[in-house]
Every structure is written in C-alpha cells, then in structure tokens.
Structure 1
Amino acid sequence: MSKTVCIISLTPVTDEPRVLRQSKALADAGWTVIVAGFKGRQAPPPHWRYIEVEHVYETRRLTENLKFDWKRRLSPGSGQFAEDYYWAQAGYDGIYEHIATIENVRCDLAIAHDYFTAPIAARLAKVSGGVYVIDCHEFSFEQYMHDPKWIKRERSWVHAMEKRFLPGASVVTTVCDGIADALKSTYKLAHRPTVVRSTAFYHDLPFRPTGEKIEVLYHGIVSPMRGLEQTIESVKLWNPEYHFVIRGPGPDDYIASLAALAEQHGVTGRVRIDPPVAFNEMVPRANSADIGFFIQPDISLQKRFTLPNKFFEYVQARLALCVGNLPEMARLVKQYDLGVLVPEISPAAIAAQINSLTRARIDSYKQASMKAALELSWQSEAEMMLRAYGIEPVAANVD
C-alpha cells in the first residue's frame, strides 16, 4: 500500500511551479499525492487528488478583533499566543476542517509551504499519526521590509510563528544556501535546512541563434519591487535592436501603469506586455526570446538571497541571462558562464549591461545554458528533496 502525502499551499496551486514539481517527484516515487490549495488557471495534473480550499474572510466586531489582537502583540514572548492568533484569524480553521474533516484526509507526510500553512500541516500530521515538514520559499522574517506597516504589525508575529513551527518539523527545506543559513542562525535550528532549488523541469530545446531583433524577456509575476519601472525607463537607452517583453500575471492597474510608463518614455513600440501562459508552456514560449532578465533591490536578506523559478526557467529556455548582481544568482551565472550581472537598479546600469550583449556574446551564453540545462534541472534537484524526506529517488526521466 502506497504512502500518502498532503501538500498544503495557500496559492493557486495548479499554477504554482514548486508544488507542481514537488508533487510529480513524489508521485513518481510511488506516493499517493493530495494537494490542497486555491484554484489556479489550469487544471490539476492527473496524479493529484486535488482539494480546492477558499480563504473566507469573516467580519468581526471591533471588540472581537481587539480580543484576538493582543495575542499577536504578545506573540514575541509566547509561541502559543502566536499560534492562537493564527487560528483566530478568519479562514484558517475552516481550511483545516475542510481538509481533515470534510475530505477526511489522513497522510503519512504533510508538507507545509511556508510558515502560514505550518499550523495546518502540523495539526493534520498529528491526527494522522504522521509527520510534517516545511518548505520555505522565502526568508519570511524579512519578506516585506519595504513596507513599514508590515514591519510594525506583522514582522514579530511572523518570527514567533517560524520559531514555533520550524524546530518541530521533521525536515525543513528551502530554495537556496543564503536562506538556509539565515533560517538556521535566526531560529537556532539543530540542523541546517536542506537546499532544494527551484529548478525547472528539463526541456529538450534547440539552440536558436540570435536574429536581427533581440528580445529581452521578463516572465513571472508582474508586480512592484522587481525593477520593471526602471527597466522600462532604460529601454530608451538601449540599442535599437533590443526589445523588452513582460509576460505574466499581475493586477490590472499595475500592468496599466507599466504600459503608461512605456508611453511616457516613448518606448511603446519596444515594450510588449503579454498575458500569462500556462505552466507547461512557459519555457517553450521563452525559447523564442534571447535574453532572460530579472533584477530586484537588495533591501533585505530575503531580496538579497533571491534565486527564483524564472532563473532556472531561462536556462531551460536556452537563453542568455541578464540578472541582478545578488549572491545566489551571481554564483551560478559565474559558475556556468550564463550571462551578465546588473550592478544596481538604475536605467543607466541596466542599459549598459543590455547593450554589452552583442549577438556573438548572446549566442555564447545560450550555448552555456545548453550545457548547463540538465545539471540545473528539477530531474537532478528532485533527488535532494526525496532523500531529505527519507524517500529513495527513482531514476530521473528527461524525456
């Protein structure tokens, strides 16, 4: 009889790359896979038992809010208060009850994606007689350091939540070395979290020589704090053969503001904003571009240690890379000779690096991505995750 895993992520899970990869590796290893989360744009994979949950917000009276809020304020001194405040927030016990009672889920392994699903996973593991693990996508204690309201209201509670649940997890995994070290140091963990990078599935794509028009691609979530405004402004400084494509989901008003910014700087004809594509289409579509682009401000450990899905998706798409000079990305760019690093987020610095990429250099970096694609793929990285969970990996399939 196969063992059962329940993966819990309060995201649109059918569009969530890390959940999709993780679940596929566990299914291939013979596990029954249950995934609980919000509905995404695409259908769930056939190997899932999918549980769609909703985060229903309830209106409480002011007196009730004050009753719960003191536990948040006192949570730095009490992990129990931190957890009590979590369960007091509208929606979380409803999600747990949906999974454990209505759907009657019992599992050998409950995987929490980040701290805000850890209480659900821990409670589910307890009633199941199983264990819970936490997969940290972020260094959540510093996730929103650009937001003074979050720092004042939420940051100490986030710290208390992670301090309560990370040490009790059977395994903690995270996306890069920098965050692994920060988590171990911040929460005095007995063991360093296992690094399971957000590498993409291997794609067997051809080398595509750079043509007359050179396409610079940003794909992923379209939101502030990703240098998109500065990049659009920089396009007027780019050589005329370069064009910028932004592809991904985002708030309509923010996307409209980017289009207005392109018009303001006179680069409307060289900036294209595309709608998102399905998960399975992201890398093949990206192969039509030439340069994969991503920058982010170095304003916290969370931002400094960024190593996003898109970095590895660009490699699988066989692109040259132009990314921010942040340590985790820079290490791999230099190790595999994948492209160039932007030293700061300014239109001039961005333009200087883009303009330095001649067609010959772009093709050289594309060839480097060709060579690195298998090593920097999920087929290689999945073994790290499975072994961390005490599961024997199956032979990698790169078809």
Structure 2
Amino acid sequence: MTEPQLPRIRGRAPRVLSLVYNDASNDSRVLKTAASLQQAGAQVQILGSARDLAGHPAGVVQVRGLRVRRVPDLIVPLVFPRLTRLWRRLAGKDPVTGQRAAADDGATAGARSVTGPGAQVGERAPAAPSAAARAKVFAADAWMRLYQTCRLGFWWKGAVGEGRRLRPDVVHANDANALVPALLIAAGRRTRIVYDSHELWRRRNTRQDKWLAPAAEAVIERIGIRRAAGVITVSPSIADWLQHTYRLTEKPSLVRNIPAATVVPDPARGRLRELTGLRREDKIIAYTGGVTTGRGLEETVDAVAHLPRDVHLVLLGPTDATYTAGLLHRADAAGVGDRVHLAGVVPYPEVPQALADADVAVVFVRPICLSYTYSLPNKLFESIHAGLPIVAADLPDTAEIVRRYGIGEVFAPERPDELAASITHILTGAQGYRAASRRAAAELTWEHEAGVLVDLYRRALEELR
C-alpha cells in the first residue's frame, strides 16, 4: 500500500471536497485529480450537479472508485411547467413535447442549404424574419439566459449546504463557476481553497454581446484567486495570463490534462476500422473530441478533398446533431461524403486504444478566443498515448509540444492548404513520427502531473496542522 504523502490534520486524513458543475461521470480531469489526492492519503468527495434527463439523478454514487454526491438540478419543466410551455411557444416549439414544428425545421434546413457549403447560384434565400419572429427569438433567448443563471444559482445553494455540512479542509473549485460556493463553504473557517482553472475562463468561447455575466465573472475570479491557497491550470500560457492579470506573486502550478501512464497500444488492436468498416489498406486521419464548432473540422473536411481517395477522416467523440448534419453536408458538397465517418463514443480510458490504428491525428482548435489559443487539448495527449503522428494548428502551447518531441507537423490555422500538405507529408513518412510519439508518451503522463498537484496540496495543508 502506498505511503500517504499528504499531512494528517489533527490525527486524521485531510478532507477534500471537489466542486464541479456537471455530473462528474465523464470529467476525466476531475476524476483523475480526485483519484490522485485519494491515493496520496486524502479523503475525497466530489460534489457535482444532477443531470436527471441524462440519467444522472441526485444522490451518492461511486464513479471509478470515487464517491460522487450530486445535488439536485433545477429542472424547469417539472418545477415551472407553465413557464416551460410559454417558452416553448416563443421558441416555435410544441408546448407539450418541446419538438420544433416540421415547418420550422424545413425553413431552418433550407437556410442552411442556401448559406452553407454547396449552395447553388440562383437559389432563393429565405425571407428576413418578421418583427414578431424577432421578438419571439429575443424573448426565448432572454428566458434561456435567466434559466441558466437560476440553474447555476440553484446548484450553488445546494453545494454550499452540502459543503458546510461536510466541513472539508480543502475545497477544490473546478473552474470559476465553482468559486462562489467554494468561497461560501470556506467563509469563517480555516478551510483552504484550491482553484483549478480548466480553461481561460474569462476568455472562453462565449457570446460577445453579453456584458453583465463577464463583469460578474471577472469580479468572482479576482476574489477567488486571491483567496485561494493554491492555483493550478492546464497550460503555460494560461498560467502566465493568470499571473499577469491578477498580479500573483507565484505563478499558478501547471497540471496538464494528460492520460495516465499505459503501454502504447499496438496499432493492430486499434478500433477505428472496426467502428467504421474501413479496410486495412485505407489511410485514416483521426479526430477525437466533441464534434462541434471551433474544432477546425470544416477545414479538415476541405483538406480531405485534396488528398487521395483512400484517405478517410474518422471522428471519434460525441456529436451535436445540428452541427454534424451541416458538417456532413459540407463533405457531400466537397465530394468526400463517403470518406467522412462518425465512429461514436468510447469510454475515456479506452480512447488511446481506439485511436491506435489511425495513420495521423489532427489537433486543430480554431483560435476564435484566447482560451482556445492558449489551450493544450486533451486530444493532443490522447493521440500521443495512441502512438500517432500529429498534425497540429500552430498555437503556442500545442506547437511547443509537437516541436519539442518531434511528433509531427505544425500548420497555420488560417491555411487549410498547409493542413493538407502536412497530412500528405506525414502519410509518406510516418514511421519516424510514430517512434517519437511513443517516446513522448512515456514521459507525458498524468503521474508526473499528479506529483505537482500533490506538492501544492502538501503546502496548503501544512498551514492547517
């Protein structure tokens, strides 16, 4: 049994409460952090939010050997049925089922076909929305913003009640939306706060027409980060930004979201061909992660059109139906609809194994916000642990990893032609990159990152002894 690395508090194991505003069932960083602290001798409980409609109700469950308590979620259709029916009417949906009317769907689809890829010259554009339609959209948007705000506040209230009862020694706030309950749980007590910034919260990909929420978030993060006994984050650039913006005397600790150490899988045991029905002789460009906006998937589809017919793009990860339909339409319009494949979802620990039979991985986060520019995507490290060559957008932290370890090629994110050229270069000489990726996987492990995490906790807890 591993000797505890964290100091005991008045003769007992330190109590750590990890706050996260999701159901915690698939949040790899939250689960790995909690497991590492537990292995280091802490008593850890994750406090998340129920997601009843996704099959994660309120209550206590075990997730990968960790105790997770989910506080109730604010489900408006159950709590405020009349308001829900009103909002659905304003949004043009059936007030009972919440389904959009068929006529609306047709209009939406028509608008996408005209303005999206493959639109034909001479097609009639949809008519501009009427004043009544615009008013409905505004009302529905205002209602949704109010609902999401109330929903977050409802979780704050439940988290504070549970947290105060549990009397933790450390509250681990996962992202800035967990800082308010962390501050209230710690108020008037010796409880320490550790702030874990999973992304550059104030510069993340959100709507730019809002001002009140960003202003409130700036105040909350400033107060929380100054109250925290320790700050950790996921990339060097975000650490620099936090230190400069908040004038921190100590740079936040770098704890990257890297998979745990494993043997790099044999390519012959990869699953992408099995999941998509592709042949052994086909070449596979792999993408892993959410199939959604801001991930450079449009440019990647365009690049496939410039590659030989035996080169296919396989997308491994959860999909958004509306976005995916548009992406596949773009592929059809480019003549590569039969070469873009959805492989579905596999459990997080199995991602490197599933990717292993790909020929190259694309890591492309479009720099549409500073948080994306400064990101170190999970997919980068998952692809390294799969032993794959990497083609990555030239963003500071991502490019630094690719170049330092010699695991692939970097392209300018605004140049899809460079993306196609980089893929071609790797496909004609990938073995050297594969070897470099396997060497990098041995060094880039969660166990190394966890050492930094435990050291920070050791310093924070020493003050309580």
**TM-score, normalization by structure 2:** 0.72
CA drift of 1:111 comes to 0.5
* CA–CA distance in structure 2, aligned partners of residues 366 and 293 of structure 1: 14
Once the two structures are superposed, residues 254-282 of structure 1 have per-residue CA deviations (whole angstroms, 9 ceiling, x without a partner) of: 12222222222221221101222111221
The answer to whether the aligner puts 1:369 opposite 2:415 as a matched pair is: no
**Offset, 1:47:** 2.9
Structure 2 match to 1:80: none
With over 3 angstroms needed to count, the CA separation of the structure-2 counterparts of 1:230 and 1:44, relative to structure 1, is farther
Structure 2 stretches lacking a partner, 5+ long: 1-11, 84-145, 271-279, 461-465
CA contact (8 A) 2:360 2:426 kept: no
CA distance in 2, matches of 1:149, 1:320: 39
Residue 189 of structure 1: aligned partner:
248
Question: Any conservation in 2 of the 1:318–1:369 contact (CA below 8 Å)?
Answer: yes
Contact 2:157-2:181 at 8 Å conserved across structures: no
Q: Distance in 2 between matches of 1:300 and 1:97?
A: 31
Deviations 1:63-121 (A, max 9, x none): xxxxxxxxxxxxxxxxxxxxxxx9x9423453244345358322111111111101111
Q: Please say if 1:204 is aligned against 2:263.
A: yes
CA displacement, residues 24-62 of structure 1 (integer Å, 9 cap, x when unaligned): 11111121211122457898434322111344266799x
Q: Which amino acid aligns with 1:174?
A: T
Matched positions, count: 364
**1 CA distance for matches of 2:381 and 2:234?**
12
Does the C-alpha gap of structure 1 residues 363 and 41 become closer, same or farther in structure 2, counting only changes over 3 Å?
farther
Distance 2:220 2:160 in 1: 22
1:340-370 residue CA offsets vs partner (Å, 9 max, x unmatched): 11212343222111111134x2221111111
**Alignment correspondent of 1:94:** 154
What secondary structure, in the 3-state scheme, does the structure 2 residue paired with 1:161 have?
helix
SS at match of 2:244: helix
State whether structure 2 residue 185 is matched by structure 1 residue 115.
Answer: no
**Quick check: 1:342–1:349 contact (8 Å CA) kept in 2?**
yes
Aligned to 1:50: 68
Cα 1:119–1:200 change in 2 (3 A) is same
Segment of structure 1 superposing worse, 312-321 or 203-212? 203-212
8 Å CA contact 2:303–2:417 kept in 1: the answer is yes
Aligned partner of 2:336: which letter? V
| 1:345-384 to 2 correspondences below 5 Å | 345-359=414-428, 361-384=429-452
1:226–1:296 contact (8 Å) kept in structure 2: yes
Shift of 1:311: 0.8
Aligned CA distance change for structure 1 residues 291 and 11 (closer, same or farther; 3 Å): farther
Q: Cα distance 1:137–1:44, how it changes in 2: closer, same or farther (>3 A)?
A: same
SS of alignment partner, residue 91 of structure 1: helix
So what's the TM-score if we normalise by structure 1? Answer: 0.84
What do the CA deviations read for 1:154-173 (whole angstroms, capped 9, x no partner)? 33332222112111111110
**Counterpart pick for 1:33 among 44, 51, 72:** 44
Q: Distance in 2 between matches of 1:128 and 1:163?
A: 20
Q: Give the AA of the match of 2:167.
A: R
Structure-2 residue corresponding to 1:77: none
SS in 2 for 1:49: strand
Q: Distance in 2 between matches of 1:118 and 1:339?
A: 38
CA distance in 2, matches of 1:153, 1:351: 42
Alignment of 1:288 with 2:357, yes or no, is: yes
- Look up the match of 1:246: 315
Tell me the residue number matched to 2:213.
154
Q: Deviations over 1:122-160 (max 9, x none)?
A: 222336641111100111221136x3224x443333222
Q: Note the 1:122-137 alignment, pairs <5 A.
A: 122-126=183-187, 129-137=190-198
Q: Residues 193 and 207 (structure 1 numbering): CA distance in 2 closer, same or farther, change over 3 Å?
A: same
Structure 1 window deviating more from structure 2 (230-239 vs 35-44): it is: 35-44
Question: 1 CA distance for matches of 2:355 and 2:172?
Answer: 30
The answer as to whether partners of 1:306 and 1:329 remain within 8 angstroms in 2 is yes
Q: What amino acid is the match of 1:387?
A: D
Match of 1:387 in 2: 455
- Is contact 1:233–1:262 with CA below 8 Å preserved after alignment? yes
Give structure 1 stretches of 5+ with no counterpart: 62-85, 393-399
Q: Is the 8 A contact 1:201 1:377 kept in 2?
A: yes
Letter in 2 for 1:19: V
2:371 equivalent to 1:302: yes
Taking a change above 3 Å as real, the CA distance of residues 299 and 255 of structure 1, as seen in their structure-2 partners, is closer
Give the secondary-structure state (helix, strand or coil) at the position aligned to 2:222.
Answer: helix
2:194 is paired with a residue of what secondary structure?
strand
Q: How does 1:72-83 map to 2 (within 5 A)?
A: none
Residue 263 of structure 1 corresponds to 332
Contact preservation (8 Å) 2:383, 2:390 = yes
Tell me: CA distance 1:101–1:358, structure 2 relative to 1, closer, same or farther (3 Å): closer
Correspondent of 1:6 among 14, 17, 37:
17
Query: Counterpart of 2:452 in structure 1: which amino acid?
Result: M
Q: Is the 8 A contact 1:109 1:130 kept in 2?
A: yes
Tell me if structure 2 keeps the 8 A contact 1:227–1:345: no
State the one-letter code of the partner of 2:340: V
Q: Distance in 2 between matches of 1:21 and 1:102?
A: 22
- Which whole-Å deviations, capped at 9, do the CAs of 1:156-205 have from their partners, x for residues lacking one? 33222211211111111001110011011111223211111111111212
Tell me the C-alpha RMSD between the 2 structures.
2.7
State the match for 2:87 in structure 1: none
Query: Is this contact kept in 2: 1:207–1:367, CA < 8 A?
Result: no
Question: Could you say what secondary structure the match of 2:262 adopts?
Answer: coil
Larger Rg: 2
